[in-house]
Amino acid sequence: MDGRHRAARDMDLFLPDLAALFDAPLRRPDMRAEDALQKAGYRRIAGTDEAGRGPLCGPVVAAAVVLDPARPIDGLADSKMLSEGDRDALFTLIAERADVGIALSSPRRIDAMNILQASLDAMARAVAALPHAADFVLIDGNRTPQLAQPSATLVKGDQRSASIAAASIVAKVVRDRLMIRLDAAFPGYGLAGHKGYPTAAHRAALARLGPTPHHRTSFKGVCSSS
């Protein structure tokens, strides 16, 4: 075992404060998880999350964010709890003040791997895309992607960890903007509105027009329209 991995193993012995957060009541995300990891000796702590597991159309987008404690960002929250305007404003601040990595899994990758594996793969690639490598990763949910760094999962992490909340905002904004572009290329499906989710209007458009090349053919409701 080399020195780097031995140090990581030794640091893991000092994570009880982080583990205690897993069962904490939901609250507005803050830096408590990151602070606990800082005390354990980690310096660049990334949060990662994805957007777009449920839609019938478009990619799943993952983001990883390393926040700068010296440049705090007020208002971070689970992206689903924010208005579009607030997400866009926070996205700009995150891009200015934090390190960001973004990756996506295409509909073809989703169909080939399944949505869970494609989401985890995108999260791993988003972490790898950070401009400066993280030395610990906080992951939204209860599944761990294959990472080079030590990591911890945090259920509802986008409501607990500021870094994960920032990643959820980046992933959501990037995916929404991609779906607006797809709407312009494939009119008639309403992609700019429902963002590919299985609304009644989307299902009706699929029945009328058939799937686009960006629909997930392995998903129920798309394969029956092919």
Tens of pLDDT, residue by residue over 99-127, are 999 999 999 999 999 999 999 999 999 99
Distance of alpha carbon 98 from alpha carbon 27, whole angstroms: 22
Which tens digits make up the pLDDT trace of 193-203? 999 999 999 99
Is residue 134 a part of any domain in this protein?
Answer: yes
Is residue 41 a part of any domain in this protein?
Answer: yes
Is residue 47 a part of any domain in this protein?
Answer: yes
Is residue 218 a part of any domain in this protein?
Answer: no
Taking phi over 0 as left and psi of -120 to 50 as alpha, with beta for the rest, 215 belongs to: beta
Residues of the domain holding 150: 3-187
CATH number at residue 55: 3.30.420.10
Is residue 31 a part of any domain in this protein?
Answer: yes
Total domains present in the chain: 1
Distance of alpha carbon 29 from alpha carbon 80, whole angstroms: 13
Is residue 201 a part of any domain in this protein?
Answer: no
Question: What was the pLDDT predicted at 17?
Answer: 57
66 near 200, Cβ under 8 Å? Answer: no
Is residue 60 a part of any domain in this protein?
Answer: yes
Question: What was the pLDDT predicted at 25?
Answer: 62
